Amino acid sequence: MNEPINNNLSVNEKIIKMREHMAHCGVDAMIILTEDPHGSEYPANYWKFREFLSGFNGSAGTFLITHNHAGLWVDSRYYIQAEKQIRDTSIELFKSGLPHVPDYITYLTNVMPSGSVVGIDGFTLPAETFKTIKKKLSDFGIKLNYKVDIVNDVFAPREKLPLDEVIEMDPSIAGLDRLQKVELLRHEMLKNNISHYLVTALDDVAWLTNLRGNDVEYNPVFYAYMLVTPTEEHLYIDPHKLSSIISRRLNEDGIKLTFYDHFEKNMANIPTDARVFYDPQTTNTRIAHTLPKTVVRVEGRSYITTLKGRKSPDEINHMYASHVRDGVALVRFLHWLDTSVGKHRITELDVANKLLSFRKQNELFVSESFEAIAAYGANAAIVHYSPSIESNAELKPEGLLLLDTGAQYADGTTDITRTIALGPVSEQAKRDYTLVLKGHIALATAIFPEGTRGVQLDVLARATMWREGIDYGHGTGHGIGFCLNVHEGPQRISKVDNGVALVPGMITSNEPGIYREGQHGVRIESIVVCQQAEKTNFGQFLNFRTITLCPIDTRPIIKEMLTSAEIDWLNNYHSMVRATLHDLLPTTDEQLWLDNATKAI
């Protein structure tokens, strides 16, 4: 039995111990991913082995250990954060996306001799990624072993899987009941002649069952799988998570309950002549390879992802109501910030905690929807920065504060970024701020024909920046879940074409930004709903409706850089914010602050 790796060891000492275990298991290199068995963006602590070994705690990244090298691959969102967190270790940082930086698979093919064995935990390896890695490595005579079980032996102290109780959504908020949703899924199965549908993404399970949980921080999901056939639905879940009332209701709806850890074994017993559908991005390699070899495998984007991505009118109305409530909390916070900075000692952590305290005053508040980004000055140049005790900057009555936060309410999910001038701001910062605002308005006011994909709209937010030789490394927009994950597909607005057209009912963020390392960061983000616009002889056109309700700081704007149409949009937006929120604010001072913050420019 391998001895667990002590958590008190340094990162370098953990890597040395890991190499000993690799040698014992006959593994020449080990790939350590971020995912859990469901392809989740935010895994529970039980699965955070990469963070445990490397010390890097960003939400995306791949760690690779060979007998004489350790490397961490991150994208542009984490360049600065990763540099800081691995600075005093033997880990080499690979900045994915930069010229001449190999991906981790190419790196392996360059350094590992033919006949080498690369290990990886198949439970954390999406089936689609497995095929890609296996083919590239096998071309160089390198074997990929997805069954190596080093993690269970050495990850200590490893937290247990969460056992928080699952709750049921209020049917009046959910819109459709779970049986109606199952029938929608069965309709798609029938069209594609599917006999067995594997539901593996946690938010897919939550959406289909109208249940919510607390297993993953910020995302109201729970660890479970489902199997749906033309006549049966099976929910694989730890029964301790279900109250007797919910268990009875599931039983009344014909949903059979089975232990979570029986899913892999039961997949081996699917009829050998079945036509099985699964999403290879959220179904792990262990599950995919457990299926009988004779079944017909149908891989593709989850039907549920498409169904839940297009929100119903009821869901949109609830989402708007949650944004109204969120707007009240935000305005109250901004009033506090404006009247406190320079008078009291305030840090980034104070800012995050204060906003959370205003949100918590609403009875429908559940949790934050992601870790708050409260970044002052140069810290805002780190795209996914979150304040810590070590980095906690004190706010001064000057410069910019970038605040990217969100909330989970019982009737909706929010995500908003505002960049706030705390006092005098440099001309460079003002120019960057105005360029970001111009990009934000360009996307908010877009009118486009049916069939338009996000990649075709992305340029609208970047065009003005590009003319000045400026760009940003993250996407411009991501889908938003309804009382679910703050990042949701299938829609996205980015340079990468995922082939998905925007359709009415899709809810997406609008968040261009500019980041100057060592100086400042600017991002403006609101949530927009895709809806029908005019129908002409050239077809049906679509546009966006902004549902985020919070002032956009006008103090850093260089007005001369804005067109009259852009000024009109900003003034109209602020008029809507003021009209919606004014009477909901509890104090006269907060109302007066809102009136001033939304004055026409």
pLDDT in tens, 219-259: 999 999 999 999 999 999 999 999 999 999 999 999 999 99
Q: Provide DSSP, 379-424.
A: GGGSTT----TTT-PBP-SSSEEEEEE-EEETTEE--EEEEEE-S-
pLDDT single digits (tens) 377-414: 999 998 878 787 878 999 999 999 999 999 999 999 99
Total residues belonging to the chain: 601
Per-residue pLDDT band for 166 (boundaries 50, 70, 90) equals: very high
Q: Which residue, 76, 51, 95, 92, is CA-closest to 381?
A: 76
Residue 170 has pLDDT above 90, yes or no: no
d(CA 119, CA 103): 17
For tokens 């033997």, name the residue: 90
pLDDT at position 80: 83
* Closest CA relative to residue 372, chosen from 310, 416, 428: 416
Q: What is the pLDDT of residue 156?
A: 77
Taking only the tens place, the pLDDT of each residue in 410-434 is: 999 999 999 999 999 999 999 999 9
pLDDT band at 2 (very low <50, low <70, confident <90, very high): low
* Gap between the Cα atoms of 364 and 369, Å rounded: 14
Mean pLDDT of 181-190: 97
CA 297, chain centre distance (Å): 28
**Six-digit token string for 25:** 């298991």
Dihedral (CA of 51, 55, 57, 60) sign: negative
Note the pLDDT of residue 154: 86
The CA distance from 385 to 264, in Å, is 37
- Dump the DSSP string for 341-373: BTTB--BHHHHHHHHHHHHHTSTTEEEESS--E
The CA-based dihedral angle spanning residues 131, 134, 136, 142, taken in that order and rounded to the nearest 10 degrees: 180
**Phi, then psi, of 144 in degrees rounded to 5:** -110, 120
Q: Looking at the predicted structure, is the pLDDT value of residue 504 above 80?
A: yes
Predicted pLDDT at 386:
79
Residue 117 pLDDT exceeds 70: yes
Q: Are 77 and 474 in contact (CB under 8 A)?
A: yes
For 479-505, what is the mean pLDDT?
96
CB count, 10 Å around CB of 463? 12
Cα gap 83→61, rounded to integer Å: 13
